[in-house]
Amino acid sequence: MIMNSLYYQKKLSRNVGDKFFTSLSVFCALIAILPLIFVVTYILIKGGAQITPELFTLEPNPPGDDLDAGGINPALIGTLVITTIASIIAIPVGVGGGIYLAEYSNGGSFSKFIRFGVNVLAGVPSIIAGVFIYALIVSTKILFGSMYSGFAGGMALSILMLPTVIKTTDEGLKLVPNELRYASLGIGASMYTTILKITLPTAFRSIATGVVLGIARAAGETAPLIFTALFSYYYIVGFEDLFYEMGSLAVLIYNFALEPYDAQNKLAWAASFILVISILTVNIFSRIFAAFTETTKRV
């Protein structure tokens, strides 16, 4: 009898309870991965079926009774243009700010305040960034009298990218061992030479990974664009188009998903296909890249 108590007893209430909670936890995990599988499968099937060469070259037709919806060229180019503008603004500001936080500040109240501000800014709803740019640029027509413009859209997106870029720069630089800095300063290099030639290149991979993920995230943002960049059905041909309404894949999906016509809905699926495939590719590759660098780290 005493020997028996050392064996695993299936019917003991603690073992039954453990089994129950373990299966509950497995159940939770299954539910958690279901949405991704469902969303990606539907987009691959429904969106993949719409992919044709014309999709990339034609303008979308305005919603109506005609069956042919056209292509998504302006939206595709618009997304590239708007994200590029956002990156051009957010990356220098973010990397510069991150350098100050990691290299110059000594944990004083200013840097604490800025780090706090970065976290708060990261939590500001994306639509508020749109509202802010609307008040600042669109309604005041401050940009050469243009109202809704691709440029305004890019600025709204840059507000959303900024916290990500600062955070990844700050954290990436903090991982650089201090010995490298001492060595560089010790042989007489100035602070900015040390940062630009030693610490930034060392942290480049982790910063680049974070920044690329931030760009991918911004490319899918819709809320800040719907009343800053608005939407356009026409090709982007020249530089001056920056200061007019500009389409983007995200806004195209939003607008065309709510249209009652099947042709437009199909275009929305096609745009989702392109958007999701590119975002997932970037994410998966940067994940593999990060895992790879982790195992081969030299310093």
Partner 1 sequence: MEEKLTLFKNRKRFGIEKNIDLIFKNTTLALSSLVAIVLFGIILVVFFQSFESFSRYGLNFLVTSEWNPVKDEYGAFTAIYGTLVTSLLSLLITIPLGVGTAIFITEDFVPKFVREIVGSFVELLAAIPSVVLGLWAIFVMEPFFREFFVFLHKFFGWIPLFSSEPAGRNSLLAIIILVVMLLPIVTSIARDSLNQVPKKLRNASYGIGASRWKTIFSVILPAALSGIMAGVLLALGRAMGETMAVTMIIGNSNVFSWSLLSPGYTISSMLANQFGEADGSQVSSLFYAAFVLMILSLVVNIFAQWLVKKFSLKY
The minimum distance between CB 239 and partner 1, in angstroms, equals: 25
Tokens standing for residue 271? 């745009």
Which residue blocks in the chain are alpha helix, DSSP H? 13-42, 48, 53-57, 73-99, 109-123, 126-133, 150-174, 178-186, 191-193, 200-219, 249-257, 262-295
**Contacting residue, 51, 126, 208, 243, with partner 1 by CB under 8 A:** 126
Tokens standing for residue 187? 């042989």
Site string for partner 1, 129-158 (x = CB under 8 A): xxxx-xxx--x-------------------
The minimum distance between CB 238 and partner 1, in angstroms, equals: 25
Assign residue 33 a region (left: φ > 0; alpha: ψ between -120 and 50; beta: otherwise).
Answer: alpha
Contact region with partner 1 (CB under 8 A), list: 3-11, 70-78, 202-210, 280-288: 280-288
Residue 117 is a binding residue for partner 1 (CB under 8 A): yes
CB nearer to partner 1: give 169 or 202.
169
Q: Which of residues 24-43 bind partner 1 (CB under 8 A)?
A: 24-29, 31-33, 35-40, 42-43
CB nearer to partner 1: give 114 or 143.
114
CB nearer to partner 1: give 123 or 238.
123
**Contacting residue, 69, 99, 203, 215, with partner 1 by CB under 8 A:** 99
Residue 182 is a binding residue for partner 1 (CB under 8 A): no
Contact region with partner 1 (CB under 8 A), list: 49-57, 177-185, 218-226, 232-240: 218-226
- Mind giving me the DSSP string for 88-129? HHHHHHHHHHHHIIIII--S-HHHHHHHHHHHHHHHS-HHHH
Q: Rounded to 10 degrees, what is the CA torsion of 50, 54, 56, 61? A: -80
Residue 200 is a binding residue for partner 1 (CB under 8 A): no
Residue 197 is a binding residue for partner 1 (CB under 8 A): no
**Contacting residue, 48, 62, 84, 104, with partner 1 by CB under 8 A:** 104
Residue 119 is a binding residue for partner 1 (CB under 8 A): yes
Q: Which of residues 74-93 bind partner 1 (CB under 8 A)?
A: 92-93
User: Phi then psi for 143, rounded to 5 degrees?
Assistant: -90, 85
Residue 57 is a binding residue for partner 1 (CB under 8 A): no
Q: Rounded to 10 degrees, what is the CA torsion of 207, 210, 213, 217? A: -120
CB nearer to partner 1: give 82 or 250.
250
CB nearer to partner 1: give 61 or 126.
126
274: nearest Cα among 15, 1, 79: 79
In the 8-state DSSP scheme, what is residue 253? H
Q: How far is CA 201 from the centre of its chain?
A: 23
124: nearest Cα among 150, 156, 152, 98: 156
The minimum distance between CB 173 and partner 1, in angstroms, equals: 11
CB nearer to partner 1: give 6 or 299.
6
3-class secondary-structure state, position 60: strand
Tokens standing for residue 206? 């982790």
**Contacting residue, 200, 211, 253, 263, with partner 1 by CB under 8 A:** 253
Residue 221 is a binding residue for partner 1 (CB under 8 A): yes
